Every structure is written in structure tokens, then in C-alpha cells.
Amino acid sequence: MGNQFSLRNSLALTGWVLTAAMSAPAYGQEGERGQHATASEAPNPHDFSGGGRPHQLPWRHPDEQRALAANAQLIPNARANAHTLTYYGGPVVSNINVVKVNYGTGTYQPFVSGTGAGTLTAFYKGVLGSAYFTWLNSNYKTATQTIGYGSYGGDYTITPSAANNGATITDVSIQAELKAQILAGKLPAPTANTYYAIHFPKGKKITQGGTTSCQSGGFCAYHGTISSASTPGGGILYGVLPDNSTGSGCDTGCGTSTAFNNWSSVSSHELIETVTDPFVGLAVTYSAPLAWYNKTYGEIGDICNAQQGTVVGTDGVTYTVQKEWSNSTNTCRAQ
């Protein structure tokens, strides 16, 4: 009787997710939403048009997030091999160095502006040397590169130019400002391992690729690449993480836990995708500089979107992260 009940519930949930996916409006140009039954079957193919562009983490209605995450636990994925990430010849990041950047003055979430316990600073410091990274090398090393632990490069608050700091900020403006701040010596010079995690205060909207942050059809965050011949590796790696305070839109469409847990999960999504596919922002087809990618489902984090897990940091604190796809185990895992 118990097994029959579980099966009926699983089938009912599958039907709900399929119905929701088919009736909901399509996401933006990244093609994030698909008509599939589990969270690990939500396509997020990259748009290679325009000579390369950042890769987005889609905004999802909270009911869909809960249903997708629950369904992923109830129903085994019978098509696990379809989610295998293929290596296309591009570089990976061997030892990522996270530089956290606050984009100007304003009201930030306390866990963004703070640097002590319970903040993203503590999260990055704790997770970069944790089991969240331990398994990546065995799955996603290349013939010429290994993947090891990361390090923390510090907290910075920049003063953007007025032209690059309106109520709505384009990705073009963010790229221009990041380059200007580096050139002026306000931020550490980039290396092949540097990742600038850029956070924004309350009230700022970000636009990229015809879509807008924190709303249906838009995104929760994204990571990209700025072409730079003078930078080791040939590119500047960055992530864009909008504000997720109450009323922002990202407070509902980017996770179903607490505000801090949701943003550590979103931050981890962009972090690990940068490690395994750092030059997606310059890729124009399925070849180098693209690294680890699945043509249907996207990058390592996209395959496991809406699945949160936990990991114990090097500081002994348990942090919420997004699970990532493992080629070796055909599962979404946090460690």
C-alpha cells in the first residue's frame, strides 16, 4: 500500500510539473525552461549569438522551484547519461581566487556588506577549501589542467562612474566599469584564476541579453568573460549577483530557503560554473574556448538547478550550496 501511494504521488507530481512547464511563458533568449519532469531535466542551452555572451541562471516561480526539487528526490532520473557534460577543449580554472566586489554605495543585504560570521565573505572563505571542491578534479580535469581548492582575494567596494550606475545597469556597463576599476588599481589585477563576484545594492536592476534580473523571463545571476589579451588566459572572469532583498523579485524566484541560504546557493552556482566553464562568455559555438558543457541542459549547475545541499566549510560552519552535476556518479552532488 505504501509503495502504491508513493507511486501515485510521484506520478501526480510529474504531471503537475509537466503541466506547469508547458503552460508557463518561455524564459528569455537563454531558453531556460523545459517541459521535463525533474529539476535535473530543465534545459538551459546557451545562446551563442552576438559573438559570445554571459551564461544565466534563470528566475523560476517559487512553486515550480519546490515542485522541481521535490520531484528530483521522488523520481530517479532514468536518463542520467543524457546529462553528461562534454569537454569542448577550453580551459578550466585550476585554483579559483574569489574577489568580492560591492558595486557602489547603497543598501546591501547584511550578509553581502558584512564580512564576519553569517556573510558571503565567510561563505566563500569556508567553502573554497571544502569538500565542495574535492571531487571536481576527478570529474573535470583536462589533459593539461587540474582543479584544486580555491582562495579568497578580499572584499572591495568600488565607486562606479555615473554613466555605469543608473537604476538599471547593463552588462556592457558592468564590463566597462570592471575594466576601468582594474586599470585604476582599485581592484586586484586579474590572473587566470581571478573571479570577480560582483554584488549590487537594493533598487538596482541588471539587464543582459534582452532580459532583466529578478523577474519572470529573466535571471537570478550570471557569469561571463571579458576578452583581454593582456590577462593571463586571455579573459577577465566575473559574476553578476543582483540584490535579493524583500520585494526585489530575487527573493521569490531564486530559492525557497532563507535569503542568505538562497544567495550562498546562487553564488555557489556561478562559482562552480566559472571553474568548469570559465570562457563561456567568449564562446560562439560548441568548441573551444567552451569547456565542460551539455548541449541540452547547459553547464554543471544548470543540470541541478533548484537542488540545494550543504557542505561544511573549513571554518566548521555548515553552508547551503547548490548541488552540481557529477559525470562519474550521474547525480547532482554537493561533495
Phi-psi region of 293 (alpha: psi -120 to 50; beta: other; left: phi over 0): beta
Q: Could you tell me the pLDDT band of residue 80, with boundaries at 50, 70 and 90?
A: low
Handedness of CA 7, 8, 11, 13 (dihedral sign): negative
Instruction: Identify the H or E element spanning 196.
Output: strand 194-199
Distance (Å, rounded) from C-alpha 51 to C-alpha 19?
35
Q: Could you tell me the pLDDT band of residue 70, with boundaries at 50, 70 and 90?
A: low
- Is 178 in a helix, a strand, or coil? helix
Residue 1 has pLDDT above 70, yes or no: no
Residue 175 has pLDDT above 50, yes or no: yes
In one-letter notation, the amino acid at residue 335 is Q
- Which residues, other chains included, contact 8 with Cβ-Cβ below 8 Å and sequence gap of 6+? none
pLDDT digits (tens, 9 = 90+) for 241-288: 999 999 999 999 999 999 999 999 999 999 999 999 999 999 999 999
pLDDT digits (tens, 9 = 90+) for 219-236: 999 999 999 999 988 999
Residue in 256, 183, 248 with CA at minimum distance from that of residue 219: 248
pLDDT of residue 61: 79
pTM of the complete model: 0.86
Question: What are the angstrom distances between the C-alpha of 67 and each of 26, 157, 241?
Answer: 18, 38, 24
pLDDT of residue 37: 32
Listing DSSP states for 302-330 in one string gives GGGTT-EEEEE-TTS-EEEEE-EEETTTT
Q: Are 123 and 267 in contact (CB under 8 A)?
A: yes
Vertex 37: Cα angle to 300 and 15 (nearest 5): 165
What rounded mean pLDDT belongs to the chain? 86
Mean pLDDT of 298-310: 93
In the block, residue with C-alpha cell 543608473: 166
Q: Could you tell me the pLDDT band of residue 335, with boundaries at 50, 70 and 90?
A: very high
- Which residues, other chains included, contact 203 with Cβ-Cβ below 8 Å and sequence gap of 6+? 106, 107, 167, 243
Q: Could you tell me the pLDDT band of residue 39, with boundaries at 50, 70 and 90?
A: very low
pLDDT digits (tens, 9 = 90+) for 83-138: 899 999 999 999 999 999 999 999 999 999 999 999 999 999 999 999 999 999 99
pLDDT of residue 46: 73
